[in-house]
Amino acid sequence: MIVDGKAIAERIKSSLAEEISKSKKKIRLAVLKVGKDPVTARYLEVKRKFAEAIGVDVRIYEVPTDISNNKLREKLSEIVHIEENTGVIVQLPLPEKINMQYILNAIIPGKDPDMLSSGAWGKFSTGKSKILPPVVGAVKVIFDENKIELKGKNAVVVGAGRLVGKPAASWLIGEGATVSVVDENTKNPEDYIKKADIIISGVGKPKTIEADMVMDGVIAIDCGTSESSGQVAGDIDLEVVKKASLFAPVPGGVGPITIAMLFKNLIELSK
């Protein structure tokens, strides 16, 4: 079965729009955007359209690419302390010269729907957070909708990045799965992948996982995004669908749900 992320996201969108309409709250997402990269602008436009559809205001703060670490942190801190800003995110990626985590840590957990600050991560990793990182929230929605039981399952997370790998592994452990994390330092990673009941990949490298590397009936969740021949591509080769019992592809799988979960988090923080 192929996950229809767009359909799931639309259902969440309708639910959030109804909730906001009933509450009559004014909710605003503030976005700090560095530079004028067209790819970044496209991703931001998707978020803006989702926000408009559910009745959330979006305020974009643009700064030049040559801004220093300290000036960028000062600007972000200023945005965080504007009372009308319900939540604040930094549109990634940032220029290479910028210390990303230093910047993100200027966002207080109570205004961090992306959950990328160290404060928000600490709450999540110790089980004290009422919200989940958006990618993890999206994966949870997929598993809940398909009644996937995680306890006792052998799960492999491919990639140990801050956006996908680390939060996914932490959440899976908390749900009772047996978890292995495979990255560039892992010897013979295919040995782990072949035994996996569940694969979650967030490497950002096309065809990292091919059909001959997985077992029949695998649950394969692709969270990696890159470009291949001018097209958006995932980590998991589409041929895997022939062997998978459940497959979330790129594009159209986890991505749309992740945006929906960002706004679900924003509304939760507004409470």
Q: Print the SS3 string covering 139-189.
A: HHHHHHHCCCCCCCCEEEEECCCCCCHHHHHHHHHHCCCEEEEECCCCCCH
**Total structural domains within the chain:** 2
Q: Are residues 100 and 175 in the same domain?
A: no
What CATH number has the domain bearing residue 242?
A: 3.40.50.720
Q: Are residues 67 and 150 in the same domain?
A: no
What CATH number has the domain bearing residue 33?
A: 3.40.50.10860
Taking the C-alpha atoms of residue 137 and residue 73, their distance in angstroms, rounded to an integer, is 27
Secondary structure (3-state) at 6: helix
Residue 6 belongs to a domain:
no
Residue 270 belongs to a domain:
no
Would you say 225 is a known binding-site residue? yes
Residue 13 has pLDDT above 70, yes or no: yes
Residue 195 belongs to a domain:
yes
Q: Are residues 144 and 247 in the same domain?
A: yes
Question: Residue 259 is which amino acid?
Answer: I
Query: Could you read off the pLDDT of 175-198 as tens digits, one per residue?
Result: 999 999 999 999 999 999 999 999
Taking the C-alpha atoms of residue 169 and residue 159, their distance in angstroms, rounded to an integer, is 10
Q: Listing from the earlier edge strand, what are the strands of the sheet with 219-222? A: 178-182, 154-158, 198-201, 219-222, 246-248
**pLDDT category of residue 228 using cuts at 50, 70 and 90:** low
Would you say 65 is a known binding-site residue? no
Q: What is the pLDDT of residue 225?
A: 87
Taking the C-alpha atoms of residue 168 and residue 55, their distance in angstroms, rounded to an integer, is 30
Residue 232 belongs to a domain:
yes
pTM of the predicted structure, to 2 decimals: 0.94
DSSP classification of residue 236: B
Residue 13 belongs to a domain:
no
Domain coverage including residue 92 = 25-108
Q: What is the residue whose two structure tokens read 């990303």?
A: 100
Would you say 160 is a known binding-site residue? yes
Taking the C-alpha atoms of residue 57 and residue 47, their distance in angstroms, rounded to an integer, is 11
Taking the C-alpha atoms of residue 197 and residue 234, their distance in angstroms, rounded to an integer, is 19
Would you say 127 is a known binding-site residue? no
Query: How do strand 57-63 and strand 28-34 relate by DSSP bridges?
Result: parallel
Residue 229 has pLDDT above 70, yes or no: no
* Phi and psi torsions of 198, nearest 5°: -130, 130
Residue 114 belongs to a domain:
no
Residue 170 belongs to a domain:
yes
